[in-house]
Amino acid sequence: MKKIVLTVAVWVATLTIFVACNNNQNSSSEEIEHTDVVPSGTYTGVAEKVDPDEKEIYVKTGDGKTLELYFTDNTQLLQNEQPVEFSALAEGQNLEVTVEKKGERLEPVTVKIME
C-alpha cells in the first residue's frame, strides 16, 4: 500500500512540474498568428514582440495592422538619429518603420526608436 501511495505522489509531482514548465515555455514564446503586408512606406507603431534570436520584430500600427519585420544586413536601426544595436529594442517602444514591400513580405529599411 505504501508503494502505491508513493508511486502516485511521485507521479502527481512529476505531472505538476511538467505542466508548470510547459505553461512557462508557451507564454515566453507566444506566436503572433496574423500579420499584415502593407504597401512600401513609413509607419508608426509599438513594438509588440522583439525576437533577438531571429532579429525579428512585430510592430502594431495605429490602425491595428501587425507588421512582421526581419532585419537584414542593410536595415538601419536608429535612436536619437544615431545607429544602435538590435539589443536596444524592447517590447512596448514607440517605433517609426520604413518598409519596402517585396512580394508578400516586408523588408525594414529603417527602424527608428522614438523614445
Instruction: Supply φ then ψ for residue 10, to 5 degrees.
Output: -65, -40
> Which grid cell is 111?
527602424
Is the predicted pLDDT of residue 62 greater than 50, yes or no? Answer: yes
Q: Is 15 helix (H, G, I), strand (E, B) or coil?
A: helix
Which H/E stretch holds residue 97? strand 94-102
pLDDT confidence band for 1 (50 / 70 / 90)? confident
pLDDT confidence band for 115 (50 / 70 / 90)? confident
Confidence (pLDDT) at 13: 60
Query: CB neighbours of 60 closer than 8 A, spacing ≥ 6?
Result: 45, 46, 48, 66
Confidence (pLDDT) at 5: 64
Q: Chain-wide mean pLDDT for the chain?
A: 86
Q: Is 75 helix (H, G, I), strand (E, B) or coil?
A: coil
